Amino acid sequence: MSTVKFLTQNFGAYDVNSIGSYMKIGGFNALRKAVNMEPSAISDLIAAVKVKGRGGAEYDMGRKLSQARAVVGENKIVICNADEGETTTFKDRELIKNDPFNLIEALIIVGYAVGATDGYIYMRSEYACYRPVILNAIRQAKSYGFLGENILGKGFDFNIHLYSGAGAYVCGEGTALIRSIEGKAGRPRMKPPFIKQSGAFARPTCLCNVESLSLVPHLLMDDQEFYARLGSGDSIGSKLISVAGNVNRPGVFEIAFGTTVREIIYDLAGGVQKNRAIRLIQFGGASGKVADASVLDTPYTYEGLRGAGVMVGSGGMLIIDERTSVLDFLLMNQEFFSEESCGQCTPCREGNLHIKIILDKLAEGKATDEDIRQMKKIAQVMSVSSLCGLGETAQNSLLSAMKVFPSVFQPGGKNK
Ligand SMILES: Cc1cc2nc3c(=O)[nH]c(=O)nc-3n(C[C@H](O)[C@H](O)[C@H](O)COP(=O)(O)O)c2cc1C
Ligand code: SF4
């Protein structure tokens, strides 16, 4: 089993500090093509290959762009979400550092497609080391006339601004991210208004993940329809995934949709360390669901993973071997959410703490039937009544583990 090279085709092919080097491999040809197309043709092209947002929510990207274009309003904004806060998810970083000019080009094209005047890149604080490469790409793109006023003589004005976060997971959520860009505390707000109508600085805003954006120039230049021939059904093309945990070769891989979970773990990631048995696999970061080894022959597709009770989400995969118990894993996950909850709404603030207390009791063999019932109830209430996606999804791992490993959730049950 091998990886594919579509999204990653530019990796290593040019000097990431030089626009000239990027242009020698065809850089900015996609933008030249885009500005001669109807904006709607760009979103149609993305819709045709059924691209779902790669940031975690799996929203149809073609539809998002046409909705953003349809919003009436001045000075629209496109934001590139480079917060990459999900645990075990480190694939956007590869696109930022190995192909920064493609990301800049993508943001300009999407700006043109939705009728925006400004692009913002919101980058997590931990990626400060990539600021120079992005700032240099912005500066060079501007000096070549790909940014600024009247781009390519088409009367299209667009600028890009780079913002760094301050290290909060919740700032990957759209409304919190926008507040952070505005210089406010990065806390989510109620919707509506939806950010597509009133986002950053109350301007219509279209928020896209790094990987979702990075696909766009390649799709525009894919005259041979290579991408459309990969995958099938609702999962066309390729996906950048990051594999972490107890495997021999953790890393980032571009796979064709349809590659099985077994091929990912055993061929690409080199198998489980010392051939230990798999305890569980978490898909899509800390907010993702878990499965046991019965998922190994499942194709990595949106439909395949959903059928197996998990999700693609952010594209992270965490492999935990038999040395770690299900409860120890859940406690670690729970610690993360108790820390990262912004504390603004009761279900998430209190729920995360109470679940942690009950998980601790369970791990010590002291939980009662009533405790376990309560824990499940709290998790379910959180998922339907929290103010933002953090509280809504924090208990995905617990609720899925309760289904997959029922014997763990018994009074006095074994901590394994
Ligand atoms: C708590 C929380 C954290 C998130 N973190 C990220 C993130 O780091 N990167 C990202 O692209 N999307 C993140 N998202 C999803 C975004 O809210 C949004 O759906 C996404 O950026 C939209 O882009 P896409 O449609 O291209 O995926 C997060 C959502 C929540 C609720
Ligand atoms: S769900 Fe959690 S993170 Fe989201 S607003 Fe409520 S307390 Fe904050």
| Residue pLDDT, tens place only, 219-265 | 999 999 999 999 999 999 999 999 999 999 999 999 999 999 999 99
Asked whether the predicted pLDDT for residue 325 surpasses 70, the reply is yes
Topology (CATH) of 19-220:
Rossmann fold (3.40.50)
Decide: helix, strand or coil at residue 117: strand
How does DSSP assign 266-304, residue by residue?
A: IIIS--BGGGPPEEEEEESSTTS-EE-GGGTTSBSSHHH
Ligand 2 contacts CB of residue 390 (under 6 A): yes
Q: Give the pLDDT confidence score for residue 414 in this predicted structure.
A: 58
How confident is the model over 108-116, as a mean pLDDT? 98
| Count of CA atoms in the C-beta half-sphere (13 A) of 229 | 7
Nearest to residue 196, comparing CAs of 49, 59, 37? 59
Mean pLDDT rounded to a whole number for the chain: 97
Q: Give the pLDDT confidence score for residue 412 in this predicted structure.
A: 72
**Which residue has the least CA distance to atom 6 on ligand 2?**
345
Ligand 2 contacts CB of residue 188 (under 6 A): yes
> In the CATH hierarchy, which top-level class contains the domain 230-321?
alpha beta
> Check: CATH 1.20.1440.230 for 326-408?
yes
Tens digits of residue pLDDT in 346-398: 999 999 999 999 999 999 999 999 999 999 999 999 999 999 999 999 999 99
Tens digits of residue pLDDT in 272-294: 999 999 999 999 999 999 999 99
Question: Using 50, 70 and 90 to split pLDDT, how confident is the model at 3?
Answer: very high
CA 91, distance to chain mean position in Å, is 9
Tens digits of residue pLDDT in 19-50: 999 999 999 999 999 999 999 999 999 999 99
Q: Per-domain residue ranges for the chain?
A: 19-220, 230-321, 326-408
Q: Give the pLDDT confidence score for residue 23 in this predicted structure.
A: 98
Ligand 2 contacts CB of residue 348 (under 6 A): yes
- Tokens 């040809």 -> residue: 29
Ligand 1 atom index nearest CA of 83 = 8
- Tokens 């009247």 -> residue: 150
Phi-psi region of 368 (alpha: psi -120 to 50; beta: other; left: phi over 0): beta
How confident is the model over 87-115, as a mean pLDDT? 98
